[in-house]
Amino acid sequence: MYAPNSMPTHGWAPLPEDVATLGAAGADQAVAYLAHREHNDPTPLHRLDGLADELGVGSVFVKDEGYRLGLGSFKALGGSYVVTRLVLEEAARRLGHPVDVGDLQTDAVRAVAATMTFACATDGNHGRSVAQGAQLVGAEAAIFMHGGVSDERVAAIERFGARIIRVDGSYDDSIIEAARVAEAEGWTVLSDTSWPGYEAIPALVSQGYTVLVRESLDAMIAPPTHVLVQAGVGGFAAAVAGHLAAVLGADRPHVIVVEPERAACLFASNAAGGIVTVPGAEPTVMAMLECYQPSPLAWRVLERVADGFLTLSEDESPAAMRRLAQPAAGDPPIVAGESGVAGLAGLVQLTADPELRRQTGLDDHAIVLVINTEGATDPELYTTLVGSTPEQVLSAEGSAPS
């Protein structure tokens, strides 16, 4: 189901404070931090001409975050980045002199980090990033996970030495519990969603995501005319849409936000003209997007610069996974997780409907960018949905990018 932005905001820019975070200067800050990480090369940007021909658009580009910093997800750009920033800020405060990312492995800074615990709620990928960041700097991590998170994703976080705390209920319940326990224990909450009085850290998480948008623009001959971006609470979608609006201005692309219909809190908020919480339903296969209340910070950006909102049925995401795993002639195979492929699934839905194609301008001149936000972060589920293992899919190409 598709709906255009209900607010008369087309062509508006983000607020100045959001431009400061998500624009060029904010991306510069994130890039500078990431330059000190190992395996920090830009992730692949695939041009799928065969798929573009099938869908009747000019070109389709897929930014493949399945190779990001060895973590398998775009979330590596958020949580671990903010852990680093917060440790350095606290070290500067305690040591009484400025410190920068080059000082991160000094004994003095690591001694400060060892006294800090970072807490967050997660469906899997954000928690993995926070846990990785904490391990890299010598801090502790406490990751709150609801019962719907798979054992495979729990194990992936435990490998970074994090403490796992299981919570009854949904992702939204785990957010509340993480904040409650962190306050009682004196831990630092590192959430990717915001609430009244808590915006600075989620804003930095989104700032980290602008790196992949910059990389995409740098790798494309011409900027995209259309971007379809998936959303849970909306922080990632806001980072993408906000950065594009900030750096491209009037030439920004048409941005469509894509959600599972079972957890379409941004779609519902657009219909209501303001933030609403949707009732919990059956779990969605797009587990990383299973969020029932938008981040107010993200909504502030998206209500201004998103052009439309789209929901996906449960079968559309697995179909798009298989489409990338068994690509059109000439296109490379891509391993995309069930949430990672949502933007492409949205593109397939829109181009299959002549009226929606017309409304959104998806014609044979359209330059479309979608972002594969995760690889096979749950390999067993991936194999079940696709019918092949990730290794079998990539073997058709020979080898995966490093």
CATH number for the domain that contains residue 167: 3.40.50.1100
In one-letter notation, the amino acid at residue 244 is L
Mean pLDDT of 250-271: 96
Read out DSSP for 275-324? --PPPP-SPPS-GGG--SS--HHHHHHHHHH--EEEEE-TTHHHHHHHHH
The neighbouring-strand residues paired with 371 are 63
The answer to whether 336 and 324 have CB atoms below 8 angstroms apart is: yes
In a domain, residue 402? The reply is no
CA 235/CA 355 separation, integer angstroms: 29
CA 304/CA 311 separation, integer angstroms: 19
pLDDT of residue 60: 98
Q: State the Cα torsion 73-227-82-374 to the nearest 10°.
A: -10
Structure tokens at 236: 């990632």
Mean pLDDT of 347-352: 98
pLDDT at 74 over 50: yes
CA 258/CA 26 separation, integer angstroms: 25
In a domain, residue 386? The reply is yes
User: Which residues fall within 8 angstroms of residue 107, CB to CB, at 6 or more apart?
Assistant: none
| Owning domain of residue 100 | 79-191
User: Are residues 300 and 244 part of one domain?
Assistant: yes
What is the per-residue pLDDT across 154-212, written as a single tens digit (0 to 9) for each? 888 999 999 999 998 888 889 899 999 999 999 999 988 899 999 999 999 999 999 99
pLDDT at 82 over 50: yes
In a domain, residue 225? The reply is yes
Burial of residue 322, with CB atoms counted within 10 A of its CB: 0-12 exposed, 13-18 middle, 19 or more buried: middle
What is the per-residue pLDDT across 207-237, written as a single tens digit (0 to 9) for each? 999 999 999 999 999 999 999 999 999 999 9
Structure tokens at 79: 């949580």
Mean pLDDT of 90-106: 94
Read out DSSP for 318-365? HHHHHHHHSPPTTPPP----TTTTHHHHHHHHHHTSHHHHHHHT-STT
User: Are residues 314 and 213 part of one domain?
Assistant: yes
The domain tally of the chain equals 2
CA 34/CA 42 separation, integer angstroms: 11
- Terminal C-alpha separation, the chain: 37
In a domain, residue 401? The reply is no
User: Are residues 233 and 184 part of one domain?
Assistant: no
What is the per-residue pLDDT across 261-290, written as a single tens digit (0 to 9) for each? 999 999 999 999 999 999 987 899 999 899
**Percent of the chain whose predicted confidence (pLDDT) is above 70:** 98
Which of 153, 169, 191 is at the close of a domain?
191
pLDDT at 68 over 60: yes
What is the per-residue pLDDT across 123-143, written as a single tens digit (0 to 9) for each? 878 888 899 999 999 999 999
* DSSP type of residue 101: G
Long-range Cβ contacts of 11-15 (<8 Å, 24+ apart): 11/250, 12/304, 12/305, 13/245, 13/246, 13/249, 13/304, 13/305, 14/242, 14/245, 14/246, 14/301, 14/304, 14/305, 15/300, 15/301, 15/304
**Percent of the chain whose predicted confidence (pLDDT) is above 90:** 79
The answer to whether 66 and 335 have CB atoms below 8 angstroms apart is: yes
pLDDT at 49 over 70: yes
pLDDT of residue 8: 66
User: Are residues 264 and 210 part of one domain?
Assistant: yes
Q: Is 75 in the active site?
A: yes
User: Are residues 165 and 103 part of one domain?
Assistant: yes
User: Are residues 359 and 234 part of one domain?
Assistant: yes
CA 105/CA 248 separation, integer angstroms: 37
* DSSP type of residue 149: S
Structure tokens at 38: 């190992």
In a domain, residue 268? The reply is yes
pLDDT of residue 107: 96
In a domain, residue 69? The reply is yes
User: Are residues 129 and 274 part of one domain?
Assistant: no
Which of 171, 191, 211 is at the close of a domain?
191
User: Are residues 310 and 230 part of one domain?
Assistant: yes
Exposure string over 350-369, b if 16+ CB within 10 A, otherwise e: bbeeeebbeebebeeebbbb
Mean pLDDT of the chain, nearest integer: 93
pLDDT of residue 334: 97
In one-letter notation, the amino acid at residue 48 is L
Which of 191, 217, 250 is at the close of a domain?
191
Question: Which of 75, 172, 331, 378 is labelled catalytic?
Answer: 75
User: Are residues 370 and 235 part of one domain?
Assistant: yes
pLDDT at 32 over 80: yes
Q: Give the HSE-up count for residue 12: Cα atoms under 13 Å, Cβ half-sphere.
A: 17
pLDDT at 398 over 70: no
**Other beta carbons less than 10 A from residue 9's beta carbon:** 14
In a domain, residue 197? The reply is no
What is the per-residue pLDDT across 309-330, written as a single tens digit (0 to 9) for each? 999 999 999 999 999 999 988 9
User: Are residues 273 and 178 part of one domain?
Assistant: no
Question: Which of 18, 64, 123, 378 is labelled catalytic?
Answer: 123
Confidence class for position 402, pLDDT limits 50, 70, 90: very low
User: Are residues 226 and 156 part of one domain?
Assistant: no
**Other beta carbons less than 10 A from residue 12's beta carbon:** 13
In a domain, residue 196? The reply is no
User: Are residues 306 and 243 part of one domain?
Assistant: yes
More confident residue, 9 or 5: 5
